[in-house]
Structure formats: C-alpha cells, structure tokens
C-alpha cells in the first residue's frame, strides 16, 4: 500500500506524499478531487488520506479507466527499476 494526501488549495486540489512532514502544493493543481485522485493513482499510489472516512482505496473513490490502470502499472515498474 502506498498512500497519498489529497487536499485543496486556492488554485485547486493537490496530492502529496505522506512521507513529507508537510503538504506539498508545488505541483499541478486539479479542478476536482477526482482528477487529483486519478493523477495520484497514475503516479503509483493506491490509497488516499483527506477523504471523509480517512484512508481509503483510490479505486473505491473514483472510477478508473484502462489508461489510469496502465499509468499506475507503469509508475510501479519505473519506481521498482529506479529503487
């Protein structure tokens, strides 16, 4: 399980790794929480904090298409190869 934090800033929704002691909003802002969740999933994350029920599986929070799953698999392979 790899978790991310989803949060809202004035420019939109962001996702940030849970390994940082702070929320990192330097990356792209997304118009909706669903878009931020899909982007985090595409980067290899499986769970998200910042949802109403605490930590939840991203797959249970948003609908994902084949491209989302492909991006997720590629992110995991890339991270394994560069670890």
Per-position pLDDT tens, the chain of length 83: 799 999 999 999 999 998 899 999 998 999 999 999 999 999 999 999 976 668 899 999 999 999 999 999 999 888 778 87
Strand order in the sheet with 47-51: 12-17, 3-9, 47-51, 54-57
Quick one: pLDDT at residue 79? 77
The Cα–Cα gap between 14 and 29 comes to: 5
Tokens 């934090």 correspond to: 5
Quick one: pLDDT at residue 51? 62
The Cα–Cα gap between 64 and 40 comes to: 12
**What residue spans define the domains of the chain?**
3-81
Quick one: pLDDT at residue 34? 95
The Cα–Cα gap between 57 and 34 comes to: 13
* Backbone phi and psi for residue 40, each to the nearest 5 degrees, phi listed first: -65, -40
* Backbone phi and psi for residue 21, each to the nearest 5 degrees, phi listed first: -80, 0
């Amino acid at each position: 399980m790899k978790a991310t934090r989803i949060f809202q800033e004035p420019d939109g929704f962001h996702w940030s790794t849970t390994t940082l002691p702070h929320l990192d909003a330097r990356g792209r802002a997304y118009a909706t929480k669903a878009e931020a969740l899909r982007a985090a999933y595409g980067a290899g994350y499986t769970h998200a904090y910042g949802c109403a029920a605490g930590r939840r599986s991203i797959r249970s929070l948003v609908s994902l298409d084949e491209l989302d799953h492909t991006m997720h698999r590629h992110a995991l392979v890339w991270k394994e190869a560069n670890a």
